[in-house]
């Protein structure tokens, strides 16, 4: 479910005001940074699963080439994997995450019109102790905003499958980005600012995981 932009604006303003003790908006028009980002290609990669929403790929999120802007730790690396999850051909590699490994994506432009993201993943073990933690990171806020969004369990993901729609956390990050300026925003002397670009971070806990085909869903319907 997506939230109407007017409600999102009210949420950001109210949360910022409550956090700082500010009150008494001037009646000035407050607008959320929204809309689609430039230079993004859209497709419907999850249509075969009944999700016909348009998605934009996260840079490097197909793991077929150089992972420019990505940070891999703990032995995370791309490996040969010819399972064609999207059914469009050319899918020959995936991200491998040994136990304790972390992969943090390149920056991805998002606005409050980008509510969800999805990707394909599998656990190499069906143990209940095998988990994949998924976080989103907004580095443009002060301090940096890190939002846990999912803990996927290997007992249910022993074969390749798409994750559910996972929240980008962009509304919470937008609130965080505007807390220090709540009084000026309510007085109409400063606009609401965006949360900035997002990174996705995945961490393998208690098992080996693989991931592929990372996409973000903008609101285009």
* 16 has pLDDT over 70: no
pLDDT band at 4 (very low <50, low <70, confident <90, very high): low
Span 24-29, average pLDDT: 43
Domain-wise residue ranges, the chain = 43-169+194-217
CA distance 177 to 180: 8
Q: What is the pLDDT of residues 154-208, one digit of tens each?
A: 999 999 999 999 999 998 999 888 888 877 877 778 888 889 999 999 999 999 9
* 153 has pLDDT over 70: yes
Contact 205, 154 (CB under 8 A): no
Contact 32, 112 (CB under 8 A): yes
Q: What is the pLDDT of residues 210-219, one digit of tens each?
A: 999 999 998 7
Compute CA distances 165 → 4, 27, 144, 181, 185, whole Å: 18, 36, 23, 32, 32
Contact 139, 113 (CB under 8 A): no
* 97 has pLDDT over 90: yes
Contact 105, 138 (CB under 8 A): no
Burial class (CB in 10 A: 0-12, 13-18, 19+), 139: middle
* 51 has pLDDT over 60: yes
Interior CA angle at 48 toward 119 and 111, to 5°? Answer: 45
CA distance 55 to 124: 27
* 133 has pLDDT over 50: yes
Using alpha carbons, select from 44, 3, 20 the residue that is nearest to residue 162: 44
The pLDDT, as a whole number, for residue 24 is 47
The pLDDT, as a whole number, for residue 91 is 87
User: What's the start-to-end Cα distance of the chain, in Å?
Assistant: 12
Interior CA angle at 78 toward 75 and 82, to 5°? Answer: 140
Q: What is the DSSP string of 136-157?
A: EEETTSSS-EEEEEEEEEGGG-
The pLDDT, as a whole number, for residue 12 is 56
The pLDDT, as a whole number, for residue 9 is 53
Q: In CATH, what number does 43-169+194-217 get? A: 2.60.120.200
The pLDDT, as a whole number, for residue 192 is 84
């Amino acid at each position: 479910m997506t939230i109407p932009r007017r409600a999102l604006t009210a949420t950001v303003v109210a949360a910022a005001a409550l956090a700082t003790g500010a009150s008494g908006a001037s009646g000035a028009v407050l607008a959320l940074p929204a809309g689609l980002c430039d230079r993004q290609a859209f497709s419907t990669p999850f249509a075969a699963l009944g999700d016909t929403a348009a998605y934009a790929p996260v840079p490097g999120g197909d793991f077929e080439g150089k992972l420019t802007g990505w940070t891999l730790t703990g032995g995370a690396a791309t490996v040969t994997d010819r399972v064609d999850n999207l059914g469009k051909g050319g899918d020959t590699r995936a991200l491998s995450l040994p136990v304790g490994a972390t992969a943090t994506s390149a920056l991805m432009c998002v606005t409050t019109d980008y509510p969800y993201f999805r990707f394909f993943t599998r656990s190499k073990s069906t143990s209940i102790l095998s988990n994949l933690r998924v976080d989103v990171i907004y580095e443009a806020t002060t301090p940096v905003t890190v939002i846990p969004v999912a803990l996927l369990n290997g007992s249910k993901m022993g074969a390749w499958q798409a994750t559910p729609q996972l929240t980008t956390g962009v509304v919470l990050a937008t609130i965080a980005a505007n807390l220090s300026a709540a009084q000026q925003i309510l007085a109409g002397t400063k606009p609401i600012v965006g949360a900035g670009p997002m990174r996705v971070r995945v961490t393998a806990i208690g098992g080996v995981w693989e991931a592929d085909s990372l996409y973000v869903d903008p609101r285009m319907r």
